[in-house]
Amino acid sequence: MKIGVILDKEITRDQRVLNEIKVLENHGHEIHVLCPDLLNIGLSGTIGKTKITRFKMSNRQREILFGIVNRFPLYNWIWQKQIRRFIKNTGVEALHTHDLYMAKPVYTGSREYRLPITLDLHENFPAAIQSYTWATTFPKSLLVVPKRWEKLEKRYLEYADNIVVLCHSFQEELKQKYPSLAGKRFVIYPNVPDTEELLKHDTAPETVAKQDFIMFYFGAIGVRRGLITCFKALKELAPKYPDIKLLLIGPIDKGDKEVFKTYMNDPQIKEQIIYHKWKDLSEFPVFARQSAIGLSPLIKNPQHDSGIANKVYQYMLFETPVLVSDCTPQLELIEETGGGMVFRNEDVGDLTEKIIYLYQHPEERKRMGENGKKAVLEKYNSVVAGNTLNTIY
């Protein structure tokens, strides 16, 4: 089948979408992508067999137009025009779009062609946008109207024929909330890794030294991701355990930079924090191998109960035991696999106790790491999950 993937971000920066495309191509489908040219890469091109169509839009324009879409729907109108042109030029037979807010422009833009639409939910968007500092801070909140997405959710979900979610619990939550979705096809595709691709970069892991007890966090950094709890725990641990280090790799949310600057420059823990703004995913294995534990300390809320971050599966693949907060999907994964430990979200004392336990029990860490890798290789990978995703087509 000829499938059109609609993405409002740069395709080369979205690993979940790239993994899904590879899965679908391996099942024999032809993939065409439509996305904005946010990085001035060029208006057309290819990634392997995938054909890319881009249209002119800067990242700043996208931020502004998307931010005000609930007041002035120019963003949707632009997309509708681009989608109609894309369908006409490529002859795609189905559309696969990403994130809740794209459902309306894709539905409206493709209406005359009557193509089946798959809506891929990367998160619980109505809950997510209400946790973003940029969206909820006055006066921007008056234009963004973040609470309006709660009212729009049902209508936007109904635009789709198929709905992809990250986990079973979020699927059941949507079905219970909106009985009208009973006739929709739901498919679960977690944020699982392309193990073949990642393992290519796992070179000479036996040479990695582990001089310090490194707690590794990889990905976007923000208050809502629970890292303040980690800073506070590190402050409790610092006097007695100077060899415990916190390794952070990822960009800090714009609205949280001052808060993080304060913690990262705190003289009590400054020397125990290692920060890199960005590292390519190909470098992930070496950082994972030198780390004692991998962190996912998310604050429990409806957004974070909608799925598991890809970093968790990536830690597990490289035998790094994980220490995660008690968001439902994370808790269920650890209970099932034995790949780590769970702490009560935002509970500094509980997090500190769990860190000390893992610090003092290297044999337990080894067992957890082995369990995690086994689970990813056997179940939580793009090949196994991809077989389910392909049932849509």
For 176-212, the three-class secondary structure string (H helix, E strand, C coil) is: HHCHHHHHCEEEECCCCCCHHHHHCCCCCHHHCCCCC
Which residue ranges of the chain lie beneath pLDDT 70? 204-210
Query: Which candidate, 194, 251, 198, places its Cα nearest to that of 227?
Result: 251
**Parallel, antiparallel, or unpaired: how do β-strands 322-325 and 50-55 relate?**
unpaired
- The domain spanning residue 270 has which CATH number? 3.40.50.2000
Say yes or no: 156 and 200 in one domain: no
pLDDT at 254: 85
Say yes or no: 176 and 226 in one domain: no
Q: Answer with the one of 144, 164, 189 that is the final residue of a domain.
A: 189
- Cα 210 from chain centroid? 28
pLDDT at 64: 96
Residues 23-58 have pLDDT tens digits of: 999 999 999 999 999 999 988 899 999 999 999 999
For residue 136, the enclosing domain spans: 2-189
pLDDT at 255: 83
pTM: 0.89
* Residue 387 is assigned to a structural domain of this protein: no
Say yes or no: 185 and 199 in one domain: no
Q: How far apart are CA 165 and CA 188, in angstroms?
A: 5
